[in-house]
Amino acid sequence: MKFPNHSISIHINPLLFLLLVFLSSSTLVAQQDAQYTQYMYNTASVNPGYAGSRGHLSIAALHRSQWVGLEGAPVTQTVNLHSPVGYRGVGLGLSIVNDKIGPTSETYADIDFSYTLQLSVEAKLSFGLKASAHLLDVRFSELNQIAPDNTLSQDIDNKFSPNFGAGVYYHNERFYAGLSVPRFLETTHFQSGSSPSTAAERMNFYFITGYVWEFNPFLKFKPTLLTKVVQGAPLQVDVSANFLLSDKFVVGAAYRWDAAFSGMAGFYISESIFAGVAYDREVTELGNAAFNDGSFEVILRYDFIRTKGQLKSPRFF
């Protein structure tokens, strides 16, 4: 069975999904970062150049439950905040990501720094750096091993590993594009003596872009693209199309190449508060499984707009 969103191919009984995605008797090199459908509202998690680009303090929280009904399926929570600071062109951000898959739990804590160049009245180019702390828990005691392996007998508790990343982000009032590598170090999380068994992270390369068309004062259209490349995993391409109605309601759809279709909806509760939801349905064999009810995602964002009416309309990215 192939689990497309985390790009790991393993052959197991679904009820034994507790077998590690990170660890196995052979080398796994295809582990990817956490998956998001509403990536267009969560750019700070993958590109440090985005920090401070909204012009004010912005806080977002996201929850994703993937493959609902499948025991041990991925569950992800993300909280990020970022803001420009007193020095001209400088932005700072903080992201915390908790990703749980079966008996493994990972927590990333990232600090972002960005510096922005004003290319024209509207156009800006930002360069970002990311410093990361990673904690890994693996509860081998939860495994129901058919053939017990002595190398999988001792739990891993809060294994720490540092990392760093970088990104570049360009935007004006209607267009944006970014290229980033959130983590450069290809960390090996597990190795038993002379055994070649490893669980290794690989560099994830992200390209993200989008454009906002204003058809009239009541209707805006934004197509977006996210491409993710990682060694040992299939190329991931996400395309989406979102409509903003009366600067209040967002409706859209997305397609993850050879993996899933998604529906999205959002609502600007106020000028400062945005809430969004998404639902994914797999187009692979996994999507037809009786135990898979799809993937659900919710996001809530709050922008600390200092002056009422500071924005002519909500920022659509």
Using pLDDT thresholds of 50, 70 and 90, give the confidence band for residue 19.
Answer: very low
pLDDT, one tens digit per residue, over 119-166 is: 999 999 999 999 999 998 887 766 665 656 555 566 777 789 999 999
What's the pLDDT at 190?
A: 58
At residue 117 the predicted structure's pLDDT band, cuts being 50, 70 and 90, is very high
24-71, pLDDT tens digit by residue? 333 343 346 788 999 888 899 899 999 999 999 999 999 999 888 888
Enumerate domains of the chain plus CATH numbers. 32-140+159-188+200-303 (2.40.160.40)
pLDDT band at residue 11 under the 50/70/90 scheme: very low
- 175-232 pLDDT, tens digit per residue, is 999 999 999 988 776 555 545 445 667 789 999 999 999 999 999 999 999 999 988 7
Alpha-carbon distances of 152 from 23, 25, 143, rounded to whole Å: 9, 10, 9
pTM of the complete model beyond 0.85: no
pLDDT of residue 69: 82
